[in-house]
Amino acid sequence: MKLKYKGKTKDVYEREDGNYVLQFKDDVTGEDGVFDPGANTVGLSMEGAGKAGLRLTTFFFEKLQEKNIPTHYIDANMDKQTMTVKPASVFGEGLEVICRYRAVGSFLRRYGKYAEEGQPLDGFIEMTLKDDERGDPPISKEALVMLRILTEKEYDTLKQLTKQISDIVKEELLKKNIELYDIKLEFGRSSDGDIILIDEISGGNMRAYKNGEPVQPLELERLVLEA
Amino acid sequence: MKLKYKGKTKDVYEREDGNYVLQFKDDVTGEDGVFDPGANTVGLSMEGAGKAGLRLTTFFFEKLQEKNIPTHYIDANMDKQTMTVKPASVFGEGLEVICRYRAVGSFLRRYGKYAEEGQPLDGFIEMTLKDDERGDPPISKEALVMLRILTEKEYDTLKQLTKQISDIVKEELLKKNIELYDIKLEFGRSSDGDIILIDEISGGNMRAYKNGEPVQPLELERLVLEA
């Protein structure tokens, strides 16, 4: 296997059969030791975070598979902390799609003049460019199309898939009395040209609250997967 | 007349007949003595800037009037450096509509991973909230509608009016071999509920270039209005 990319929370290897292997690490994004799914830096390392992320991702990706929502997931190996996935090319140099159920994080930092902290947003969707240097700027449909990062049709598909997937995650969390505040997804084009969900769905890319308190990534895995 | 608002480049007075008077000042936006129409601070004061801004605004607003494009303009008094305008309420707490013909300024700071400096943008339109504290964040149609700042129909009207007005300004500048790079407009709802152009159209709210060099606000007035 050939190392293709060292990410903040995962390393990516290419297999000889053309598929890829994601190695989940114990690092989570944040700043100064505080977890923040919207941050661009590794904020802290937590023993077991990689395994927890992989277990939760596997749980959600298998659930999406049952509902015929296309993802890059093939299988997972818990001992090695790896997930095997289909190849996919990202949009532009990487695009994140955020679904927001409550006004927190960068949404509030931008639009706090018009929104109260924690105000319900009913699954509001926005997209941001993956660009550490420029602070992951938000980008509109018009700009995405104009800069040829997405077609109009792809934008609409991403929006619809994101809402559908996020609602499924929200519902799963609700079964454990956890409320989903926001979640960040990534998509790619498969070799067949289909749009598929890539990356992960774990405590590392969402904000979840229980009894008004934020649920940390490791705790989320425990609460969601406990019998 | 009652002072209603002290702005960065203009003061606003309310007249007894319900109309408003804009007092043009010699201040222009920028930083450290360098003019920047996208800046949120007064960067420098230039003798004659107020009069030049008023003359250019009057020139363009009268041109728009001829073409039946609705503005708040009633008349101007060059000696007093004032413009009398119809009352209008702004969208939210203020919204700016930018029409971009070349990639410079905040567009490039956000999307520089996908655009070259100075790349043609063909009249690309985006909106930003007037919010000094939050650095005038860009905002999408979806967010504007969701936050009830605009209706979908109002968004489309603003976009169409902005393109139409900006193209007229671009064409006027071209007659003097000046190229319009970008321009920032403001709109309001009139007492009849119509959407009208408000504020000003001057060197202070656009980037204009001649022979590859930026044209300063005062110089722009001289070049455009000279016989």
Average pLDDT, chain A: 94
Q: Are B121 and A146 within 8 A, CB to CB?
A: yes
pLDDT at B18: 94
Residue A116: closest CA among chain B residues belongs to which residue?
Answer: B147
pLDDT tens per residue across span A13-34 = 999 999 999 999 988 888 888 8
Question: Chain A contact for B114, CB < 8 A?
Answer: yes
pLDDT at B66: 96
Single residue among B88, B117, B146 that ends a domain in this structure:
B88
Question: Chain A contact for B123, CB < 8 A?
Answer: no
Residue B92: closest CA among chain A residues belongs to which residue?
Answer: A114
Q: Are residues B76 and B94 in the same domain?
A: no
Closest CA to B27 of B77, B81, B89, B79: B81
pLDDT at B227 over 80: no
pLDDT at B40: 81
Structure confidence at residue A165 as a pLDDT band (50, 70, 90): very high
Q: Are residues B41 and B73 in the same domain?
A: yes
pLDDT at B33: 82
pLDDT tens per residue across span B193-212 = 899 999 999 998 999 999 99
> How does DSSP classify residue B71?
B
Structure confidence at residue A134 as a pLDDT band (50, 70, 90): very high
Structure confidence at residue B7 as a pLDDT band (50, 70, 90): confident
Is A223 inside a domain boundary? no
Residues A1-8, mean pLDDT to the nearest whole number: 89
CA–CA gap between residue A186 and residue A184 (Å, rounded): 7
**Shortest CA gap B122–chain A (Å):** 10
pLDDT at A27: 86
Q: Are residues A114 and A172 in the same domain?
A: yes
Complex ipTM, two decimals? 0.90
pLDDT tens per residue across span A33-63 = 888 888 888 878 888 889 999 999 999 999 9
pLDDT at A12 over 90: yes
Single residue among A47, A62, A88 that ends a domain in this structure:
A88
Question: Chain B contact for A115, CB < 8 A?
Answer: yes
Q: Are A114 and B138 within 8 A, CB to CB?
A: no
pLDDT tens per residue across span B113-157 = 999 999 999 999 999 999 999 999 999 999 999 999 999 999 999
Q: Are residues A69 and A95 in the same domain?
A: no
CB A202 within 8 A of CB A57: yes
- State percent of chain A over pLDDT 70: 100
Q: How would you write chain B as a 3-class SS string?
A: CEEEEECCCEEEEECCCCCEEEEECCEEEEECCEECCCCCCEEEECCCHHHHHHHHHHHHHHHHHHCCCCECEEEEECCCCEEEECCEEECCCCEEEEEEEECCHHHHHHHCCCCCCCCEEEEEEEEEECCHHHCCCEECHHHHHHCCCCCHHHHHHHHHHHHHHHHHHHHHHHCCCCEEEEEEEEEEEECCCCEEEECCCCHHHEEEEECCEECCHHHHHHHHHCC
Q: How far separated are the first and last CA of chain A, in Å rounded?
A: 36
The dihedral over CA atoms of B207, B137, B8, B83, expressed in degrees to the nearest 10, equals 70
pLDDT tens per residue across span A101-116 = 999 999 999 999 999 9
Question: Chain A contact for B143, CB < 8 A?
Answer: yes
Q: Which residues of chain A does B92 touch, with a Cβ-Cβ cutoff of 8 Å? A: 113-114
- Give the structural domain span for A34: 2-88
Q: Are residues A65 and A122 in the same domain?
A: no
Q: Count of A–B CB contacts within 8 Å?
A: 73
pLDDT at B68: 96
Q: Are residues A46 and A96 in the same domain?
A: no
